[in-house]
Amino acid sequence: MPVSEAFAAIMSAVRDFGTEKVPLEAAAGRILRETVTADRPFPPFDRVTMDGIAIYFDSYARGQRVFGLEDVQAAGMPQMQLANLADCMEVMTGAILPDLTDTVIPYEHLEITEHEGFKRFTVVKDAVKGQNIHRIGSDAPAGKILLEAGIRIGAAEIGVLATVGKSEVLVSRLPKIVLIATGNELVEVSAIPAQHQLRMSNIHSLHASLQQLGIPAEKIHLPDDQQRLEQHISELLPETDVLICSGAVSAGKFDHLPAALKACGMREIFHKVQQRPGKPLLFGTFPQKPVVFALPGNPVSGFMCFYRYIRPWLKACLQENAEQPLFAVLEEEVVFNPALEYYLPVRLSTLPDGRTSAQPVPYNGSGDLSSLLMADAFMALPAERQVFEKNSIYPVWPFRTT
C-alpha cells in the first residue's frame, strides 16, 4: 500500500478519547476543549502604568504646573476621587486611576518640593492628555473569545486562563497507551547484555516521543512466543486505547505478532507500506476499542513510523489543531532506486533567504539508531522518482518538536 493510502486509512480511524476537567496547575501541555472568553475587560479598569501623579489635564492645559498632593492611590486600593481639580493624587503602577483624573505624570518628569509640611509637584516636562494610562478594555472587551478549543495549552495560555478565573480547565482526556517490545534478544537497559543480546531501546524512544505530546504510556517486554503474546495482549485489550508494538512484524520464523494480534480479534487494516524504512508496518483495530500500531523492530523504522503516522493520528484524536506541513530544500543530490517512498534522515537549518534546508546525515539504514543523533527530521522522497536533485523541495517530518 502507498504511504498516502496508509496514512488516510489511519486517519479515518481517528477516535475521540473524550474530555475531562483538570486543575489549572495540571493544564499545561494539554489540549483545550472549551472556548475561553474574557470574563471582564482586559484590563478591567483604567490602570496606571507609571509611578507618579495623576492630574486633571484641563488644569495643566490652563497653564498650571504646580500641584498640591491630596492622597496616594496604590495598587490594590479601591478607587479614590480627586476633591479639588487643581490638586493631584500620587499614583502607583497597577493602581486604578483616581476618579476625576485623566493624565499620569511620571516621577521622572516632576520636581518634588515641600511647603509647610505639604508635598508639591512641579511638572517640568510636557504632558499629553491621557498619557500613561492603560485604558479599560483596550486589550480585549469583556466577552471576547480569547482561546479556542484545539490549542495546546502553553505558559502564555496558562496566564490568560488564570486571569479569567479558570481554576479548572476542560481538556482532552489522554488515551491509555501500552508499548510492547517483542524479541528474545532484548534485555533491560540496566542489564549487561551477552554478545548476542542488546538492550531494548525502541520502547524508550517511543515513550519519550509520547512524552513530547504529554501522553504517559506503560512499557512491557514480551518474548517471541505466540501463545504468550496472545495471552498478554488479550489481557491488555479491555483497558487499553492504543497498543503500540515494536518488532516481530516482518517475515521471520519468530515474527508471531501479526498472527497473535489476529487471534486476539484484531481486524487488519493494512500490513506493509511502500516505504523505507518502515515497510512491514501493520495497522489494525479491535472490535471493542483499542487500535494497534505494530512497528518494525529496526530502530529508525519504528521511530519514523511514529512521527509519520502515530503522532498525527494522536493529535487528531486529541482534537488538536493540525500542524502546517513543512517543506525543505534538499542540500545535495540523492539517488534511491527502489519504488518506495524514502524517508531520509536530514538535519534542518535556515537558509539566508529564510527557507528551511535539509542536509542528509550519514546513514547506514534502518538499524542505524545513532544516525538520528545528527538529524532532526525525515525528508519524504516520493516513490515515483529515483534521482532527487540538489535544491529540489520535498516535505519534511520533524521529530525534535512538541
Ligand X SMILES: Nc1nc2c(c(=O)[nH]1)N[C@H]1C(S)=C(S)[C@@H](COP(=O)(O)OP(=O)(O)OC[C@H]3O[C@@H](n4cnc5c(N)ncnc54)[C@H](O)[C@@H]3O)O[C@H]1N2
- Least distance between ligand MOO and beta carbon 185 (Å): 16
Judged by CB under 6 A, the residue of 43, 52, 247, 290 near ligand X is 247
Q: Using CB atoms, what's the residue nearest to ligand X?
A: 297
- The site for ligand X, by CB under 6 A, has a size of 26
**Which span sits near ligand X by CB under 6 A: 91-99, 199-207, 234-242, 354-362?**
199-207
60 vs 306, beta carbon nearer ligand X: 306
- Least distance between ligand MOO and beta carbon 276 (Å): 5
Judged by CB under 6 A, the residue of 296, 312, 345, 360 near ligand X is 296
Residues in region 37-56 near ligand X by CB under 6 A: none
For residue 178 the three cell numbers come to 501500552
Among ligand X, ligand MOO, none, the one that 32 touches (CB under a kind-dependent 5 to 8 A) is none
- Least distance between ligand X and beta carbon 311 (Å): 19
Among ligand X, ligand MOO, none, the one that 175 touches (CB under a kind-dependent 5 to 8 A) is none
280 vs 360, beta carbon nearer ligand X: 280
- Least distance between ligand X and beta carbon 290 (Å): 19
Judged by CB under 6 A, the residue of 183, 284, 312, 360 near ligand X is 183
**Which span sits near ligand X by CB under 6 A: 96-104, 172-180, 293-301, 309-317?**
293-301
Distance CA 43, CA 83 (A): 26
- Least distance between ligand MOO and beta carbon 301 (Å): 3
- Least distance between ligand X and beta carbon 231 (Å): 19
**Which span sits near ligand X by CB under 6 A: 20-28, 232-240, 290-298, 305-313?**
290-298
Among ligand X, ligand MOO, none, the one that 217 touches (CB under a kind-dependent 5 to 8 A) is none
Judged by CB under 6 A, the residue of 54, 82, 110, 186 near ligand X is 186
Residue 246 interacts with ligand X (CB under 6 A)? yes
98 vs 345, beta carbon nearer ligand MOO: 345
